[in-house]
């Protein structure tokens, strides 16, 4: 998915904003992503994508710390 595509249609949040939020704030749970422009707090359609992005970004961050 392109980083500039809308991920949360209820609150018009792009994937880029979500990825940057997770990289900078490192939320412990994916549900905390709703702090980022309220993504995931509307209809819930984007929640599976938020969980996936959280898992991928946090795994990448853990991999960078090990090297």
* DSSP secondary structure letters along 1-67: --TTSEEETTTTEEHHHHHHHHHHH--SSGGGGGGTTTTTSSSSTTHHHHHHHHHHHHHHHHHHHH-
67, pLDDT greater than 60:
no
- pTM for this entry: 0.86
pLDDT for 61 equals 87
pLDDT for 41 equals 94
Confirm if 39 and 18 have CB atoms less than 8 A apart. Answer: yes
20, pLDDT greater than 60:
yes
pLDDT for 66 equals 58
65, pLDDT greater than 80:
no
Q: pLDDT > 70: what percent of the chain?
A: 96
């Amino acid at each position: 998915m392109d980083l500039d595509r809308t991920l949360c249609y209820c609150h018009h949040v792009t994937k880029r904003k979500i990825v940057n939020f997770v990289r900078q704030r490192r939320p412990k749970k994916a549900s905390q992503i709703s702090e980022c422009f309220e993504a995931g707090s509307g209809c819930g359609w984007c929640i599976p994508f938020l969980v996936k992005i959280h898992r991928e970004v946090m795994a990448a961050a853990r991999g960078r710390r090990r090297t």
